[in-house]
């Protein structure tokens, strides 16, 4: 289990979302792009999708609550319907959500354009959460930029 220091805002409404071990849940529909996110990044995915909506783009959000067990079927099915995927994790892009998504898609034979948002595989400097989130692309504006870039690729 990954925990942050200090206060963390509530990401998912308990009246709408119910945690189920190993079961991904679609939080938002959208056909232009799919955000696959875990933890606090699911909230940022929803925020980024709302920004993209103002630009006429439909971004779906699939929340993955656990990496073990991992919902391979839901990930492959949702990605196959879209063709463009951005993984979002407050973790290294190596050995976490992005790796599990890539493995799922490969094993299912699903081909998509994919971008990974997460911490790079190297030693990082110290700083505030906001500073580091923006620097390493985990802030909502940087997530939106990543999504726009993926959508512009041919």
Instruction: Evaluate whether residue 69 is within a structural domain.
Output: yes
Rounded to two decimals, what is the model's pTM?
A: 0.92
Tell me the torsion sign for CA atoms 124, 125, 129, 130.
negative
pLDDT (0 to 100) of residue 8: 64
Quick one: average pLDDT of 75-88? 96
Q: Residue 5's pLDDT band (boundaries 50, 70, 90)?
A: low
> What's the Cα-to-Cα distance from 39 to each of 52, 56, 61, 68, 132, rounded to whole Å?
21, 27, 13, 14, 17
Q: Per residue in 80-112, is it b (16+ CB within 10 Å) or e — as a string?
A: bebebbbbbbbbbbeebbbbbbbebbeeeebeb
* Top-confidence residue, 124 or 44: 44
Q: Per residue in 15-44, is it b (16+ CB within 10 Å) or e — as a string?
A: eeeeeeeeebbebbebebbbbbbbbbbbbb
Domain containing residue 108: CATH number: 3.40.50.920
Residue 82 predicted with pLDDT over 80: yes
* Top-confidence residue, 15 or 55: 55
Structural domains of the chain, count: 1
Q: What is the pLDDT of residues 8-21, one digit of tens each?
A: 667 777 777 888 99
- 15: phi then psi, degrees, rounded to nearest 5: -80, -15
Which domain range does residue 108 map to?
26-124+145-152
Instruction: Evaluate whether residue 117 is within a structural domain.
Output: yes
Instruction: Evaluate whether residue 53 is within a structural domain.
Output: yes
CA gap 14, 53 in Å, rounded: 24
- What does pLDDT average to over the chain? 92
Instruction: Evaluate whether residue 44 is within a structural domain.
Output: yes
**Highest mean pLDDT out of 5-14, 17-26, 98-107, 121-130:** 98-107
Tally Cβ neighbours within 10 Å of residue 52. Answer: 21
pLDDT (0 to 100) of residue 3: 54
Instruction: Evaluate whether residue 133 is within a structural domain.
Output: no
């Amino acid at each position: 289990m990954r925990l942050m220091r200090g206060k963390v805002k509530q990401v998912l409404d308990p009246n709408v979302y119910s945690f189920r071990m190993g079961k991904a849940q679609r939080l938002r529909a959208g056909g232009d792009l799919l955000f696959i996110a875990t933890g606090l990044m699911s909230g940022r995915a929803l925020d980024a999708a709302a920004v993209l909506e103002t630009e006429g783009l439909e971004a779906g959000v699939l929340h993955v609550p656990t990496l073990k067990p991992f919902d391979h079927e839901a990930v492959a099915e949702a990605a196959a319907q879209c063709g463009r995927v951005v993984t979002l994790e407050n973790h290294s892009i190596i050995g976490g959500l992005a790796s599990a998504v890539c493995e799922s898609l490969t094993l299912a034979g699903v081909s998509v354009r994919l971008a990974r948002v997460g911490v790079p595989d190297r030693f990082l400097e110290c700083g505030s959460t906001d500073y580091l989130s923006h620097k390493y692309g985990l802030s909502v504006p940087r997530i939106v930029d990543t999504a726009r870039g993926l959508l512009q690729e041919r």
